[in-house]
Amino acid sequence: MWSITKRDTAVRVLLALSFAFAARVGAQTSPPPNEDGYDLWLRYRLVPDASRLAEYRAAITRLVVPGDSPTLRVISDELATGLQGLLGRTIPIDESFRVDGSVIVGTPRSSRTIAALPLVAELARAGREGFVIRSVKVAGKRAIVVAGNTDVGALYGAFRLLRQLQTNASIAELSIMDAPRIQLRMLDHWDNLDRTVERGYAGQSLWEWKRLPDSLSPRYRDYARANSSIGINGTVLTNVNANAKVLSPEYIAKVAALANVFRPYGIRVYLTARFSAPIEMGGLKTADPLDAAVRKWWRNKADEIYRAIPDFGGFLVKANSEGQPGPQDYKRTHADGANMLAEAVAPHGGIVMWRAFVYSNEVPLDRTKQAYDEFKPLDGAFRSNVLVQVKNGPLDFQPREPFHPLFGAMPKTPLMMEFQITKEYLGQDTHLAYLGPLFEEVLRSDTWAKGKGSTVASVIDGSLQHYARTGIAGVANIGTDRNWTGSQFNQANWYAYGRLAWDPRQSSADIADDWIRMTFSNDSTVVKPVKHMMLISRDAVVDYMTPLGLAHIMASNHHYGPGPWAKLPRADQTPSYFHRADSIGIGFDRTAAGSNAVEQYFPPVRERFANRDSVPDAFLLWFHHVGWNEPMRSGATLWDELVRHYYAGVDSVRSMERTWIGIQGKIDDARFDEVESFLGIQEHEARWWRDAALQYFQTFSHLPIPDRYERPAHPLSFYLELHCPADRTRPRCPAVY
């Protein structure tokens, strides 16, 4: 159990008393029935707004889904279930137009009614996966048409119509046309064949390999439903630190069984390919990508996979990084390795996603430069069915990083974005950190590759450099926990990723609004405060962990608690390599006077980051070594500004706690209590981060924490002795407070 001080107890009691009274006064009814979070954002509960419910019931009286393909059956099932739950009555499924209120769903091929409507121009703009939703008249009767050029497009439209009802929006005079801006919208699972999950904080892997292919968990279908509802169309089932065994006939049959479940939902399966598989599985003496026998082995393996899974998507590869085998083992390039695999899957329409996260065995001058240095010279050397998958920042999914300089720098090579949905460095399963603003911040960053407005989003959606193939990937945060993601709010990161993968121009605030309405309530007294919590949460984590551009000062291995003092055998795994604190100041000099990593950006970005007067405070210590007493733009010294950010992070978490207590009684008790418990853990651990990091940096600055701030609970020596488990035991460090 946590050891809580008397002060903590008093604060918690006062908060509970003040906000519990307000909650009781404001609540008109008892809390809703308890939920466990399994339904995610696909909660089809009766619409509570009486006037809106009347509107919906008048507009929807029949469901018409002609045709009998697997996807059309999915559409019919989803709409029937969703409408029954939302409207509180069964909606007949037939083809009668004798009354107002038919919802007609399909394609011009599956539905003669849709084919006869004047939708040709709009459907042409919608493309293969887009859809049109229109209020129309059919045989003189009012109807709603959901049309796509393909069954999958119609499915996306069906989910969009359900979202309209779930978010309490009007369905009078509907006029919606939407289509994805990115072709490949991937979810990457770092799942191992023994069902452990690397950087997973939500239980075991969903994939029950020992029971496949004969036994299919119902969660597979629900997983597919959730992904399809937000437009995700591909899933990589296995860890990038790959196991060649997944390419064996035994496992190909298991993968085929999963593919059969996912296919009606528009989701293709992909696998990670271990580069040394020809040696480990094929008995060859080499995995050299230019060796004829190796190339033949991969072609035969691809043929075998496609015989079992005709719509297999292709391979994701991590090579020559963190000890993984790759083409450089044979003095070949990344392009040589990627092209060999691309050649094998090309006859089947497959692709290769080659990760640009390269982490050399040699310690570099600046680890953030390596991907650019290795991949920029290869622009134009990759086959047309290869995409290079680039992390959002040049280091490693930190709470905040500048965008990766490769974006915009490889106009002849399609670049995919790789985000991390699982919160490896942002509090993992317990801390509330809504990542929509992180994703949006990166996507809206201007690369200046072709002048002002050359955003990262315009690079990855192909509009800037006219890529024939476009893609985006998110490292999944999903596991066997009943709520899927380890906490209720982690679901929002999965949801936000999918929505931004569909259209990277969307607002993370608008997405949060939809998620709250679909997940918790349409009550404005819930939506407004919870949305505020979500929108400040990521900056709160940055403030109490790594403010002002600090990075990678987490404890080693598990990356959970603070560890700026950690000592490791390899320099570029050691926090001091990144923070560079000394008696003069703190920060990594990446200007021309230092590692010159700033040179990798286009000139306007380079000049902004390199100049102390123009670099954003958020990236100050990423690009500059700054003296402890140097003045900031605020007028405060660096030390005082660093202290202010660390304390502001804790204050933000306390604000989130107060906000959450204020909605008690307006959502179900089970989910309320879980979130309240996690926020309590987060507040304790935010103080742990703040007190430990500031006292450690004090050993270099020799400056005091101003008297206006509360004192650290323990001396630095206390934190240096803490050893936190690298597992999901909650709480992880019970002796912190």
* Token pair recorded at residue 710: 């509360």
- pLDDT attached to residue 379: 98
pLDDT at 428 > cutoff 80 = yes
* Token pair recorded at residue 391: 């992390």
SS3 88: coil
pLDDT at 701 > cutoff 50 = yes
- pLDDT attached to residue 732: 54
At 8-27, the pLDDT tens digits run: 434 443 444 444 444 334 43
At 205-246, the pLDDT tens digits run: 999 999 999 999 999 999 999 999 999 999 999 999 999 999
* Token pair recorded at residue 129: 């996966």
Q: How does strand 471-475 pair with strand 415-420?
A: parallel
- pLDDT attached to residue 176: 98
Rounded to the nearest 5°, which phi and psi values hold at 70? -55, -40
What does the alpha-carbon distance between residue 267 and residue 265 come to, in Å, rounded to a whole number? 6
What does the alpha-carbon distance between residue 119 and residue 138 come to, in Å, rounded to a whole number? 13
Q: Are the beta carbons of 604 and 623 closer than 8 angstroms? A: no
**pLDDT tier, 97 (very low <50, low <70, confident <90, very high otherwise):** confident
Closest Cα partner for 252 from 311, 321, 289, 304? 304
At 48-85, the pLDDT tens digits run: 999 999 999 999 999 999 999 999 999 999 999 999 99
- Partners of 132 in the β-ladder: 147, 177
Helix, strand, coil percentages, rounded to 5, for the chain: 45, 10, 45
- Between residues 276 and 570, which one has the greater pLDDT? 276
Sheet with 102-106, edge to edge strand ranges: 62-64, 102-106, 141-148, 131-138, 175-178
At 286-308, the pLDDT tens digits run: 999 999 999 999 999 999 999 99
* Token pair recorded at residue 295: 């190339």
Closest Cα partner for 158 from 215, 91, 209? 91
Closest Cα partner for 110 from 60, 154, 160, 158? 154
pLDDT at 155 > cutoff 80 = yes
Q: How does strand 131-138 pair with strand 141-148?
A: antiparallel
| pLDDT averaged over every residue in the chain | 94
Averaged pLDDT for residues 384-402: 98
Helices 70-87 and 50-59 meet at what angle, rounded to 10?
A: 140
Determine what percent of the chain is predicted with pLDDT higher than 90: 90
Active-site residue among 94, 322, 510, 582?
A: 322
Q: What is the pTM of this model?
A: 0.95
- pLDDT attached to residue 623: 98
**Catalytic annotation on 685?**
no
Domain boundaries, the chain: 50-178, 184-519, 542-588+625-720
To which H or E segment does residue 188 belong?
strand 184-188
**pLDDT tier, 324 (very low <50, low <70, confident <90, very high otherwise):** very high
- pLDDT attached to residue 29: 63
Give the total residue count for the chain.
Answer: 737
Active-site residue among 396, 503, 668, 676?
A: 396
Choices 3.40.50.300, 3.20.20.80, 2.60.40.1080, 3.20.20.100: CATH for 184-519: 3.20.20.80
CATH 3.90.1330.10 is the classification of domain 542-588+625-720: yes
Averaged pLDDT for residues 455-460: 98
- pLDDT attached to residue 391: 98
Q: Say which CATH class 50-178 falls into.
A: alpha beta
**Catalytic annotation on 322?**
yes
- pLDDT attached to residue 725: 54
- pLDDT attached to residue 733: 57
pLDDT at 5 > cutoff 50 = no
Look-up of token digits 């123009």: 614
- pLDDT attached to residue 364: 82
- pLDDT attached to residue 95: 77
* Token pair recorded at residue 161: 């119509």
**Catalytic annotation on 657?**
no
114: left (phi over 0), alpha (psi -120 to 50) or beta: alpha
Rounded to the nearest 5°, which phi and psi values hold at 582? -150, -170
Active-site residue among 424, 429, 514, 691?
A: 424
- Identify the weakest region by mean pLDDT among 392-401, 489-498, 566-575, 633-642: 566-575
pLDDT at 690 > cutoff 90 = yes
Q: Are the beta carbons of 302 and 345 closer than 8 angstroms? A: yes
Determine what percent of the chain is predicted with pLDDT higher than 70: 94
> Tell me, what amino acid is at 415?
L
- Between residues 730 and 619, which one has the greater pLDDT? 619
